[in-house]
Amino acid sequence: MKTSRAAVLTNYEAPLELREFPLPASIEPGAALVKVKLAGICGTDVHLWHGQLPIPLPVILGHETVGVIEELGAGLTKDWAGKPLSTGDRITWSSSINCGECYYCRIKPEPTRCLKRKAYGISYDCSVAPHLFGGYADYIYLRPGTAIFKLPEQLPTEAVVGAGCALTTSLHGIERIGVRIGDNVVIQGSGPVGLACLAVAKASGAAQIIVFGGPPHRLQIAKSFGADVCIDVDETSVEERRARVLELTGGFGADVVLECVGIPPVVPEGLELCRDGGRYLVLGHYGNAGTVELNPHVITRKQLTVAGSWGFEPRHTKAALEFLARSREQFRFEQLIAQPFPLDRAFEALQATASWTTAKSAIAP
């Protein structure tokens, strides 16, 4: 019997365990067995490791993945965009599957809030066959209904994983709050989500983009992506950062502030950075990192528009791949990935992301 190795989260804040699972004896109609080429370590994986979202354990983490089709189930002949699929094709896929029938899928519609939504690397107990529903593994099993995308030859695997779900999440979030031509934009965070928001805001016509973040190597990448000003949060206070934003915006504040950190205290700071009538997006808080004191009078006094955004839809995956293909020379997401870790060092890769020592960690099984 053929098997697949996988790095498994068995308990919160415990080292990942390398286990072996049997490959499925057969592939159901509409499903696919995929050999993993590269799996990204998302900041959400760190939140999951800390137990900041209720998920089943044990679980194989990993929801940003590129692989090669090993076997196709009956009836799966085209990807989500209508391109023909065959074994040997290099693909990626949207990380979650929606039911298409619930209140949020059909009536509202808000499909990212689907009541039966399940996500690879998050929602599946790997003790239940066919086990392989996460990217930290030699193989992954894609369920029927997965939005699969065949990758063009000219788009490197490293660029797709480097952008990861950060780019799709950013496209969805900025779609909800809007970045307009000529806007002054502040981005709180210089990790993958912050860098993706920077790329999208730049492409949307923002006049000036100010990035808060660190460490310095991440701010250097932000500069290469076109940030006009980078401010190291480890070398400045909240008051100093606000004064600098006011100085750079004629004393008014930013038109748009994008929160891309996932650390609660940045939210009240970000609201104060907006100009009157400005817009604030809470994007980085996918995990529940706790509460923070907030004065809602700030929102009223400034007449702010405040939005949240959760995940993304398959159409955002398609848009992200097209964005990567046409802007590779301007936004080199592949440079975010340092030397990939082998699968047996998956926990080390996760800790590298948790400690911000890499711009983007990845696993190459």
Measured distance CA(291)–CA(357) in Å, rounded = 26
pLDDT category at 17 given cuts 50, 70, 90 is: very high
Q: Rounded to the nearest 5 degrees, what angle is found at the Cα of 188, between the Cα atoms of 311 and 277?
A: 90
Strand-pair partners of 39: 65, 363
Grouping H, G, I as helix, E, B as strand and the rest as coil, residue 191 is coil
* pLDDT value of residue 356: 84
φ, ψ (nearest 5 deg) of residue 204:
-85, -5
Measured distance CA(341)–CA(135) in Å, rounded = 13
Measured distance CA(13)–CA(33) in Å, rounded = 30
Measured distance CA(179)–CA(197) in Å, rounded = 10
pLDDT category at 359 given cuts 50, 70, 90 is: confident
Query: What's the Cα-to-Cα distance from 67 to each of 111, 134, 145, 203, 266, rounded to whole Å?
Result: 26, 12, 17, 29, 36
The domains of the chain are located at 3-155+328-363, 165-308
Contact 25, 73 (CB under 8 A): no
Contact 111, 105 (CB under 8 A): yes
Q: Strand 148-150 to strand 229-232: parallel, antiparallel, or no bridges (unpaired)?
A: unpaired
* Structure-token pair, residue 85: 């699929």
Contact 266, 257 (CB under 8 A): no
- Fold matches, 3-155+328-363 and 165-308: no
Asked if residue 264 has pLDDT above 80, the reply is yes
The DSSP secondary structure of 58-71, one letter per residue, reads SEE---SEEEEEEE
Q: Strand 274-282 to strand 305-308: parallel, antiparallel, or no bridges (unpaired)?
A: parallel
Mean pLDDT over the full length of the chain: 96
Asked if residue 95 has pLDDT above 90, the reply is yes
User: How does pLDDT run across 41-61, given as a tens digit for each residue?
Assistant: 999 999 999 999 889 999 999
Closest by CA position to 223, among listed 328, 144, 332, 349? 332
CATH of 165-308, one of 3.10.310.10, 3.40.50.80, 3.40.50.720, 3.30.43.10: 3.40.50.720
Q: Strand 139-142 to strand 32-40: parallel, antiparallel, or no bridges (unpaired)?
A: antiparallel
User: How does pLDDT run across 293-320, given as a tens digit for each residue?
Assistant: 999 999 999 999 999 999 999 999 999 9
* pLDDT value of residue 287: 85
pTM, full prediction: 0.94
* pLDDT value of residue 41: 96
CA quadruple 99, 101, 104, 107: dihedral, nearest 10: 160
Helix axes 314-326, 192-203, angle to 10 degrees: 70
Measured distance CA(351)–CA(354) in Å, rounded = 5
Residue 348 CB-density burial (10 A; 0-12 exposed, 13-18 middle, 19+ buried): middle
3-155+328-363, which class in CATH? alpha beta
